[in-house]
Every structure is written in C-alpha cells, then in structure tokens.
Structure 1
C-alpha cells in the first residue's frame, strides 16, 4: 500500500534563547490542529543556554514530547570555537560560510565526547532520542566515525536522511532559507517556490526553519503559508522519526 506524501516541520537551534522567536509560530501551527514537529535541541546553545539552568524551558519540551513531537540532538554548543583554521577551504567553511559548524573539524574522540554528553543530557531529562543533526549540517570524518559507534538511528543533511550506523541515504528534499537580510529573504523565496514546484510529486518535503526566519514577518508568514498549502494538498505532517519508520527504519534500540 502506497504511503500518502508527507511534510516534516523541523525547528532548528532550539534553546531557551531562541524560544521567544519560535513561540508565536508554534502557537500558530498548534492552532491548525495536530501537526507534529521535530525540534532540534542544543544542550548549551553558544555556551550560555545550559538546559540545566532553565527548568521552565525543559518543562515546555516535556510537554511537546507528550504532544507527539520529536526531540533531536543538534550539536552540543552550536558554535565553532576551535583553533583557527589554517587551510583556506576550512577557513572559508568555518569563518565565512558559518561560525556555527561545531562538528566540522572535530576528531573522532572529540566528537564522541560531545555526542555522549548530548545523549546523557537527553537521558537525564527522560527524552527519547534517535536522531542527531550537526549544526549547519557540517560533519567531519571523525564525527561520522563517532556516530557509527552510538545508539542513534539517523542523521541528516539538507537533502537526505541517513540511516545509522551505515549511513544509508534516503532522499528527503528540504526547503531552507537564508534570512539575515532583505535580499537574502527575497532570493530564498524565489528559490524555495521553484523547488516546491519541482518536488510536487516527492514522497516527502522537509521545512527547515531557523530562529532568524521567525524575526521577520515576510519569512515567518512564508513558512506558515507553505505549511498550510502542503497540508491542504494532502500531505501528512509527521516527525522525522515517524516518517523514517514508514521507510523501514526502526529505532536501533528496538532493532
């Protein structure tokens, strides 16, 4: 039996600092009905948002899990504060493309330490955990090797989900904006409209939202209208893990 097409609503960079950006949007989505979301949670966002110090925010995440949402580990600090890059490509990726590629340069041992610390954070608060998404989707080879050793089910980049530990790729096209300036927001809409048309027959479309998108009416309204349109087109809203289950992926802990 063929599965109906799906839409996955994914909130990046979830932390106490970014919740005020997301709150009006999340409330608007909740008003649409039962639309499960995937929240990419950072245990200590930019080293100033340790979840241990924010019990109210943890209770919010507890309530989202009870509602049927999924929490995913999204780096640990979500900032790249390692030694200065010497190679020109690495310098560009870490200081021009993004300052938040936390896992771009880590060795296997370093990645394992941060991943295990993140897993322990989820265990401490009794949050189910199956997925990891690297900040800016950037992973070193050491990070990839570390992920093969851990009890996680999947990771992802901008256009695929990857089953762990073998990194089997599953097509999952995603829309994402660069919303830091007006011209970037305008260009992002043009590109996203084109991609949405191209992916009309795709089994799944991911909507990858960031806090900066929520700070501008133009981009925030785009995401809400796009979600409503995809729902009206018959797409079923799902979390990433629930959609992966329709593709034959079971949680590693249940395998």
Structure 2
C-alpha cells in the first residue's frame, strides 16, 4: 500500500553559527530583536571550547542562557569542538586552498576516525554534563573528512548537515535544505553577499525550507545585521513557519531501503 504524507507548510530555519560565551555579545542585540517579533525558535550551533580559550563549562552565565533558550523551544547543536584547524600544515595545493584560503577553521576536515570520534565524544559529554538535549552535529565550515563520517555513524545523533542538505544518521540520507549565508568581513564582501543572497532568496521562493545561516561577524556590521532581520521578517510575512532543524527533520518522510 502506498504511503501518503501530509504536505508540510513552507518553513524557515534561523541558525546561529559559532555560538560561544565570547560570541554571545555579538548576537545579543539581534536575538533580542528576533524575540520581539514573536515566538521564533532558533537553532544555536554551540562550540564547546571556541578557539581553545572559551570553554562553555567555565561560563555559568552562558550555561544559564542556553537553558533559558531551550525552555523557549530553541535547539542546541554541537558545532565542532575547538572550531579551529589544529592539524599539521597542508601539504598539497588542494589542501592549502581548503584549509588556508576557503577557511582556517575546518577542524574536522583532516581528522581520521579515531581523532574525530574523540572530539565528537568530548563534545557530546559537554552537552550531557549540562543536561542539554543533543540531536545534531555540524562541522565547522561544513567540512568533514571520511573519518568524521565514519565516526558519526557510531554515535547516537540524528543528523548532520552541509551548506545545502541535512543528512539523517547513521546512513547519511540527504534531504534538501538550502541555505543563505554571507561573507561579511569587508564592505565589498558584504555588498556582494547582499546581491547574491537576494538572488538566491528569489530562486528559493518555492523551496520547502530555507536556512538562514548567520555568523558572529555578520552581527558586527549594521548593514548585514539589518539584512538578516529584514529577510527573516519578510519570509515570516510570506507565510513561512519558523522551525528548528530537528523539528523540521522530524516532519520529513523516512525513506526505507528496499528489502
């Protein structure tokens, strides 16, 4: 017998990257503005020890903040462990491009299975110690080695993601979840990001969901901060339902393998 699924309303996910005690002050004004719009759940990508000098477990005020956000219906996601690339220096042109030009923060890009599993388990323990529910992992810059993928298959997590998909674990079944993200470190980059993002939003008009992927640097410039708030408001006014990543995933049909 064929299975029938109720079509879900179009949605929008507001996702804050690189969340740590030191980046909360960047996000605070924006989050307060979002809260003023109404009941809008946020997905927070939490780094346990940002750049090796900002430990979540040494920041009780931040821990209380995260508990308060969970009580509002938000989701916390494990986002790397250190969020910095501390592997040996790149030795090939491709590795140099990915690890020094594309990003300096691809923490899980080169790790073997043992190394990845060690860091993932350490991150999971931080969440467990703080009594934070955990369903997802997002690698910094969305870069994952094969060893990382192997490690994720061994852990009690529901999903991971890259820039355009969510992946159910442990089988890495891909589900389209397109996103918009900025490069905001210079005025030129911010201007180009605005043009590209406006075009992408128009292209995604009929998409089932749109992920808005924000970073702390976006919050340090009025131009980019205003863009994100206006875009979120516009998508909500156009009928999109705000959801967390895990809430959205729970409403996606399971694809069963053939017997």
Q: SS at 1:191's partner residue?
A: helix
**Which one of 221, 233, 242 corresponds to residue 247 of structure 2?**
242
**Which one of 116, 120, 123 corresponds to residue 118 of structure 1?**
123
Correspondence 1:136 to 2:144: no
Q: SS at 1:80's partner residue?
A: coil
**Which one of 180, 185, 210 corresponds to residue 185 of structure 2?**
180
- Paired with 1:185 and 1:167, the residues of 2 have a C-alpha distance of 33
Correspondence 1:225 to 2:246: no
Residue 248 of structure 1, CA deviation = 3.4
- Paired with 1:215 and 1:27, the residues of 2 have a C-alpha distance of 15
1:80 aligns with 85
1:152 aligns with 157
Correspondence 1:101 to 2:106: yes
2:16 aligns with 11
- Paired with 1:52 and 1:145, the residues of 2 have a C-alpha distance of 28
Q: SS at 1:224's partner residue?
A: helix
Residue 206 of structure 1, CA deviation = 0.3
- Paired with 1:133 and 1:100, the residues of 2 have a C-alpha distance of 13
1:59 aligns with 64
Correspondence 1:50 to 2:55: yes
Question: What do the CA deviations read for 1:30-77 (whole angstroms, capped 9, x no partner)?
Answer: 000000000000000000111111000100001000110000000000
- Paired with 1:52 and 1:37, the residues of 2 have a C-alpha distance of 22
Structure 1 residue runs without a partner (length 5+): 250-255
Question: What do the CA deviations read for 1:148-200 (whole angstroms, capped 9, x no partner)?
Answer: 00000000001000000010000000000000000100100111100100110
Residue 84 of structure 1, CA deviation = 0.7
- Paired with 1:2 and 1:145, the residues of 2 have a C-alpha distance of 33
**Which one of 31, 39, 62 corresponds to residue 34 of structure 1?**
39
Question: What do the CA deviations read for 1:104-161 (whole angstroms, capped 9, x no partner)?
Answer: 0000000000000000000000000000000000000000000000000000001000
- Paired with 2:55 and 2:24, the residues of 1 have a C-alpha distance of 14
2:257 aligns with none
Question: Runs of at least 4 residues of structure 1 off by over 6 A?
Answer: none
- Paired with 1:227 and 1:114, the residues of 2 have a C-alpha distance of 33
- Paired with 1:167 and 1:220, the residues of 2 have a C-alpha distance of 33
Structure 2 residue runs without a partner (length 5+): 1-5, 255-259
